[in-house]
Structure 1
Amino acid sequence: MSNGSTKTTTKSTFHFAAGLGSGVLSAVLLQPIDLLKTRVQQSGSHSLSAAIADIRAAPHIIQALWRGAVPSALRTGFGSAIYFTSLNAIRQNAARISFLALPSTTAPIATGPGATSTSRHSSSLPKLSNTGNLFAGAVARSFAGFILMPLTVLKVRYESTFYKYSSLVGAARDIAGREGLRGFFAGFGATAIRDAPYAGLYVLFYEQSKRRLSSLYGASTSPDATPQSRSDKKMGVSRAASINFASAMVSGVVCSIISNPFDAAKTRIQLYPDTYRNMVHATRRMVSEEGFRALWDGLALRMSRKALSSALAWTVYEELIRRAEVTWSSGGGGKARSNL
């Protein structure tokens, strides 16, 4: 294997590891919010207080709050690893396509050979146009969602009070015995319709927010500052992390509001596949029996969870990549910045 191929493999592995670590961290910390969201969406009661009362009545509250943490961590961890790795690969290749690349009239941080970069940005990841970000986010999320769909079904059913599974192995056996392989992909249509636009819009809003906030930071820098001093400020952990965290939070809130109806329908399909056959049928039945409010069940919880998990995952991931880039660049003997 050539030296270039070895470096590419190493960097892809690091993207996978960084995504895995950030995903597991956010999943474990925010599992109680995700659990409550599933409980609220599982029926038409719309009652958060009832879900909290059920958990408080459990013999071990802490254990009850983190029920489903293992499948959630596995799903989110490996989902983030696959997503970030594939997203980076897609963005690297999309940057070579003219209508997907960032226009030269903006202030990009290109990472390809011969590309220029700017120090006034919180990120060192590949930069694309709005169309490119929409495309990359949607494709990467759909790919990761399909691979992780069995874990998603297990997670939702394990968190629910409807099935009362005592173990993940028991849940898997029950699904396989009653529904076959198809049962592990229940709700994929609704999930894909929810996740593809969500991820595409998320990457678009996230990159736009980072660019604008980074530009504001750059504009506030003294015009007499040297390029080196500006670069040092850019590389500061606190400033870059704050920009990335704020951008991820805002993007998570906006995209959660847009995609919540699909999430509510997806949860019903995964919990009651015999009752809700597909997304269209689930949506119509929920609206006819419970009103439009049913499509917004769990919005506050999902919005909070998505905003926080996205902020944690993206901030940790970006900082790990930034640190790795510095290491790779310093190991290059002063050569141009490595292409992540």
Structure 2
Amino acid sequence: MELSLAHPAIKAFMCGSVSGTCSTLLFQPLDLVKTRLQTLQSNMQPGSGRVGMVTVLRNVVQTERLLGLWKGVSPSFVRTIPGVGLYFSTYFSLKQHYFQEKSPGPMEAVLLGGGARTVAGIFMLPVTVIKTRFECGRYSYGSVTGALRSVCQTEGPAALFSGMMPTLLRDVPFSGIYVMFYSQTKASLPKEISTSGYAPLANFSCGILAGVLASLITQPADVVKTQVQVNPQLRAAEAIRYIYMEHGLQGFFRGAVPRSLRRTMMAAMAWTVYEQMMAHMGLKS
């Protein structure tokens, strides 16, 4: 079947998959650094000094070489290509069904983004768990399939859905807040900018602003999610208590800089590429 004859939701899926692939490849090192920062044990810290993003980055390059920064890119691709595609196709379908005649308002945009992320998040959670374990450096998995087999044999299939609540509490608000800020900021732009050759740059700038705000608001849930997935014996409430006892309130913002950079840049690029591809296909995103 030719792409031009495909259903609009399939086109949205393909546009989302392409945009997710590009952004994942570029920003995987930031995700790895974020995960390492969040899973550092107190006895790994030199003295009482603070281990920061640059220290972790240098340590990874020294011990695992430059390509070590892309550790976990394989499960990231397995998650991102269908995951981002599923997110955008769900988003497109919901928007077409409920808002074909009008643009969604702020709260409607939150529901659109959150609804699309809920579908994609639950569906792709097992791969997210494996990706987090690949990146943290505690497990020596050789491949995605090998990791899946190992987890199922030693911990049971339920371990593949560990951290579901903190994952949804992180991703659903992030997506809802992001879509709200992104759509409202974009709608406030002069029409001559949004329809000119500067449209991609304008979309990217709106995405940067929306991503920074959404990332900071949802950072604590991301730290809890990482702890639960790396330490499957912990429940969310236990992980919260552990983080607070070990690192205090600032522990809930560990990895905020690399995560904000990565999520902001990834979301901004994904939405920019997605909107340009949809426009090229003659579809309103």
Distance 1:54 1:166 in 2: 21
Q: For 1:66, which of 63, 70, 73 is the aligned residue? A: 70
Distance 1:155 1:287 in 2: 25
Partner of 2:20: 23
Partner of 1:331: none
Deviations 1:4-31 (A, max 9, x none): xx96x52111101000000011001111
Distance 1:289 1:51 in 2: 19
Partner of 1:90: 94
Q: CA deviation at 1:339?
A: 6.5
Distance 1:11 1:56 in 2: 43
Where do 5+ consecutive residues of structure 1 fail to align?
1-5, 96-111, 116-125, 219-229, 326-337
Q: CA deviation at 1:242?
A: 1.4
Partner of 1:176: 152
Q: Which amino acid aligns with 1:240?
A: A
Partner of 2:81: 77
Q: CA deviation at 1:50?
A: 4.0
Runs of 4+, deviation exceeding 3 Å: 233-236
The 8 Å contact of residues 27 and 77 in structure 1, kept in 2 or not, is answered as no
The 8 Å contact of residues 248 and 307 in structure 1, kept in 2 or not, is answered as yes
Distance 1:310 1:20 in 2: 13
Distance 1:195 1:94 in 2: 22
Partner of 1:264: 223
The 8 Å contact of residues 61 and 69 in structure 2, kept in 1 or not, is answered as no
Q: For 1:143, which of 97, 114, 119 is the aligned residue? A: 119
Distance 1:234 1:255 in 2: 23
* RMSD after superposition: 1.9
Partner of 1:277: 235
Distance 2:136 2:277 in 1: 35
Partner of 1:55: 60
Distance 2:255 2:58 in 1: 16
SS at match of 2:198: helix
Q: Which amino acid aligns with 2:235?
A: R
Partner of 2:211: 252
Distance 1:210 1:53 in 2: 38
Distance 2:159 2:76 in 1: 18
SS at match of 1:127: coil
Does residue 1:316 correspond to 2:237, yes or no? no
TM-score (norm 1): 0.76
The 8 Å contact of residues 24 and 74 in structure 1, kept in 2 or not, is answered as no
Q: For 2:128, which of 111, 127, 152 is the aligned residue? A: 152
**Identity between Structure 1 and Structure 2 (%):** 31
Distance 1:277 1:297 in 2: 19
Distance 1:234 1:318 in 2: 11
Change (3 A) 1:167 1:154: same
Does residue 1:299 correspond to 2:273, yes or no? no
Change (3 A) 1:54 1:170: farther
Q: Which amino acid aligns with 2:281?
A: A
Distance 2:112 2:141 in 1: 37
The 8 Å contact of residues 156 and 271 in structure 1, kept in 2 or not, is answered as yes
Greater percentage in helix: 2
Q: How many residues align?
A: 274
Distance 1:144 1:169 in 2: 20
Distance 1:252 1:78 in 2: 21
Q: Which amino acid aligns with 1:83?
A: Y
Q: Which amino acid aligns with 2:204?
A: F
